[in-house]
Amino acid sequence: MASVPHITVVGGGSTGTGIARDLAMRGLDVTLVEKGNLTHGTTGRMHGLLHSGGRYAVSDQKSARECVEENYVLREVATHCVEETGGLFVKRPEDAEEYFEEKLQGCRDCDIPVEVLSGAEAREMEPHLAEDVDRAIWVPDAAIDPFRLCVSNALDAERHGARVETHAEVTDVLVEGGEVTGLEVRHDSGPGKRVHGSPGGTERIETDHVVNATGAWAGRIGDLAGVDIEVRPSKGVMTVMNTRQVDTVVNRCRPKGDADIIVPHETACILGTTDEEVSDPEDYPEEGWEVDLMIDELSELVPMLQEARTIRSFWGVRPLYEPPEVGSEDPTDITRDFFLLDHEERDDLPGMTSIVGGKLTTYRLMAESISDHVCAQFGTTTTCRTADEPLPGSEDFTVLADAMKRFGLRSPVARRSSQRLGSRTESVLSRCDPNPVLCPCEAVSRAEVRDAIDQAGTDLNAVRLRTRASMGNCQGGFCSHRIAGELHPTHDEPTVDDALTELVEERWKGERHALWGEQLSQAALKYTLQATTMNRDADPVDDDVDWGAFDAGERSAADGAVTDGGRRDEGSDGGTTGGD
C-alpha cells in the first residue's frame, strides 16, 4: 500500500481512544467515531477502580496478572488520572477463612504485592470499618478517573494527527466485494465539535480497516457488517455517596456476590455493584432495590453507610464476551478477559476487527494488542510506545505546585484543579483573569470550563466529564447556569439555553435514584433556586405575554400609563386594608 493506511476506530471509550492514540503514535492515519460523548458507553459508567488484580486472583489468574502489570504502567503514564488509594479485601466473621487464604495465595501467585492486616490494623487505616471485621489483605488497588483518561488519550491521538468525531453514530458498515471498505456515519450536528442546533448530516468514511471497539454495542456494528458477535452485556449499579467514608478501596473478601466494593473517587465514594445479564445495552430497568442492596450490604463493611447521603446512582453495562461454546449460565462466571475477533479469519470478512470483553484497567494492553494486529496487516513495524510515553497532563507532575500560587487560586481549588489538569495546569489556568470558581462543590474555575468547551463545543455533559463541574453535592443546583454562561457569546443565546437544559436534565436523571434524606432536601433546594428565583420552569419564552396585564410599577401607575392590571377591589368580602 503506497499511502499511509487509514484506520477507523468505532467507539470513544477507553479501548477506542486507547487504540486511536496507539495507532496514531505509530504513524497511521486514524479516524475515531463515537455516537455520544467520549466515555458515553461503559467507560463513563464504572466505579473508577484501577484493579490491583486482587479481585481476580482466585478465579481468573490471567486477568489478575494483566491487571497488576497495567496498574503499575498507568500509575506512570496516566499519573494525573490515578489516585493511589490502596485497597483492602476485608473479611467479616461469617466470611470463609479458607477463601481468605486462597485469595492471599492467589495474589502472591500473580505477583500482586500484599500485606495481611488484623482487624484492628485495618480499622487504623480505615476507622469506619465495622468493629467485627477480623482480617484484611492490603493490595495496590487505586482509583482512576475514566473521563480524564479517555479525554487525554483522545487529545494525544489528535496531537498525533488523528481525527476524533463525537456525536457521530455509525449507521452502516460498507461492504464491497466481500470486504469492509468504510462506514456511513450520521453526525448529530455536523463534523467537528458538537454545537447545539447546528445541522447534522451523513458522511461516508472510506477506510482501509475498521476497528470495532464498541464494547457492549459490538453486536450492533457486527449486525451492520453481517457478522455475529455474541456480546453478553451485564448491568451493574453504582451508587455515589456525597463524601468519602473511606480513603482506601474496600472490597469484601468472599468468592463472588453483589455489592462488595467501595471505591473512593475524588470527593465521593462509589458503591458497587451488581452483575445481571441484559438483552439490550441501552434499555434495561434501573430500580430502587438495586440502590437499597448497595447500601444495606455494604453497611456490613462500613456501618455509617446506612445513614449516609447518596447524591445519585448510575448503571453501566459490562461488555462481557465468551466464545459461544463456553455457555456460562451466570454472568459472574464469564471471564473478564478480552478477545480479539479477526473477522477475516472468523467470518471470511476482511477489513474489520472487533475487540470485546476486557476491562478498563487493561485498556492500554487491549489497545496495544489490537494495534499490533492491525499494524501487522499493513506491514507497519513501528512498535507500541504507550507504556512509556505519558499522556497529556501526566508529562511533568512537578510543574503544579508553583503554578497554583501564580494563578492566585485558593488552595482547595488549586489542589483540585492541579489534580485534574496535571501538567496542563499552567497553560489552562493562565487563560482567564479573573478566574472565578463556577462549581464550588468540585472547585472548578472558569478557565477549566473554557478549556473543556474548546474541546467539547456546546455539549455541557462533555464539559462536565472533563472538569467534574456539576458532579458534586448540589448536582448542578448552583452552577449549571454559570457553566452554560461560558458558552455565551461565542454561541448564541438559544443554543446556550438548550445546552443548559440538557445538562440539567442529565443531572436529574441520576439524582432521582438518591432522593431521600439530605439529598432530597438538596434537590428541593435546586428546584427552588431554578424555579422560584430564576423561573426556568415557567419561562414564557414560547408564549405571547400580555405585558399590559401585569403591573408596570407605581411610577407608571402614577403617570397613568400602561397597566390595566386589575385594581384592588376594596369592596371584596373580607379584604381588609392596612396591616394593623
Partner 1 sequence: MVGATRGATEGRPVAIEDDVLVVGGGLAGVTAALAAADTGVRVRLVSHKESTLRQASGVVDALGALDGTLVSDPYEAVERLSDGHPYRTLGADALRSGFDLFDGTVTGYEGSHTDANALVPTHGGTVKPTARYPESVAPGLASDDRPMLLVGFETLPDFDAPRAAAHLERVGVPFAVHGVTLDFPGNLRADAAVTRYADLLDEAVPVDGGRVDARTALVERVKSHLSGAERVGFPALLGHEAHDEVRAELSQRLGADAFEVPMGPPSLPGTRLADQLYAAMDDAGVGIETGNPVVDVTTDGERVTEVTVERTHTAVPYAAEQYVLATGGLVGKGIASNRESVRERVFDCHVPHPADRYDWSVEGAYGDHAFARFGVRIDADGRPLDASEDVEYENLRAAGGVVGGADVAAEKSASGVSLATGFTAGRLAGEEVS
Residues 441-480, interacting with partner 1 (CB under 8 A): 445-446, 478
327 touching partner 1, by CB under 8 A: no
Q: Cα(162)–Cα(27) distance, rounded to whole angstroms?
A: 10
Burial of 320 (0-12, 13-18, 19+ CB in 10 A): buried
Binds partner 1 (CB under 8 A): choice among 437, 441, 453, 469: 437
What x-and-dash track marks residues 510-529 binding partner 1 by CB under 8 A?
--x--xxx--xx-xxx-xxx
> How many residues form the binding site for partner 1 (CB under 8 A)?
84
Is 403 a binding residue for partner 1 by CB under 8 A? The answer is no
Neighbours of 402 (CB within 10 A): 10
Q: Does 497 bind partner 1 (CB under 8 A)?
A: yes
Q: Alpha-carbon distance 68 to 338, whole Å?
A: 16
H or E element that contains 508: helix 493-511
The distance of closest approach from Cβ of residue 127 to partner 1 in the complex, given in angstroms and rounded to an integer, is: 25
283 binds partner 1 (CB under 8 A): no
| Residue 505: alpha-carbon gap to chain centroid | 17
Measured from the CB atom, is 390 or 476 closer to partner 1? 476
Q: Which of 327, 546, 560, 571 binds partner 1 (CB under 8 A)?
A: 546
Member of 256, 405, 406, 410 binding partner 1 (CB under 8 A): 410
Q: Residue 304 interacts with partner 1 (CB under 8 A)?
A: no
Of the residues 178, 191, 323, 436, which one makes contact with partner 1 according to CB under 8 A:
436
Nearer to partner 1, 379 or 434 (CB): 434
Please tell me whether residue 116 binds partner 1 under the rule CB under 8 A.
no
Q: Which three cell numbers stand for residue 202?
A: 451523513
Q: Which is nearer to partner 1, 155 or 500 (CB)?
A: 500
Interface pick for partner 1 out of 94, 199, 283, 567 (rule CB under 8 A):
567
For position 430 contacting partner 1 by CB under 8 A, the verdict is no
Tallying the residues shown for the chain, one arrives at: 580
Q: Should residue 237 be labelled a site residue for partner 1 when binding is judged by CB under 8 A? A: no
The H or E element that residue 355 is part of is strand 352-357
Query: Which CB atom, from 224 or from 496, has the smaller least distance to partner 1?
Result: 496
- Does position 111 bind partner 1 by CB under 8 A? no
Is 532 a binding residue for partner 1 by CB under 8 A? The answer is yes
How near is the Cβ of 568 to partner 1 at its closest, in Å? 5
**108 belongs to the binding site for partner 1 (CB under 8 A):** no
Smallest distance from the beta carbon of 268 to partner 1, in angstroms? 19
Residue located via cell numbers 478498563: 360
Provide CB contacts within 8 A for 466, sequence distance 6+.
147, 148, 151, 448, 451, 452, 455, 456
The residues that bridge with 353 in the sheet, in sequence order, are: 211, 342
Q: Give the strand pairing for 437-439 and 232-241.
A: unpaired
Q: Which is nearer to partner 1, 154 or 474 (CB)?
A: 474
For every residue of 433-472, DSSP letters joined together read: SS--EEETTTTEEHHHHHHHHHHHTT-HHHHHHHH-TT-S
**What radius of gyration, in Å, describes the C-alpha atoms of the chain?**
26
Footprint of partner 1 on 67-96 (CB under 8 A): none
Is residue 545 near partner 1 by the rule CB under 8 A?
Answer: yes
Helix (H) or strand (E) holding 174: strand 168-176
Place of cell 496478572: 65
Site membership for partner 1, residue 533 (CB under 8 A): yes
Q: Is 379 in the site for partner 1 (CB under 8 A)?
A: no
Torsion of CA 494, 500, 505, 508, to 10 degrees: -160
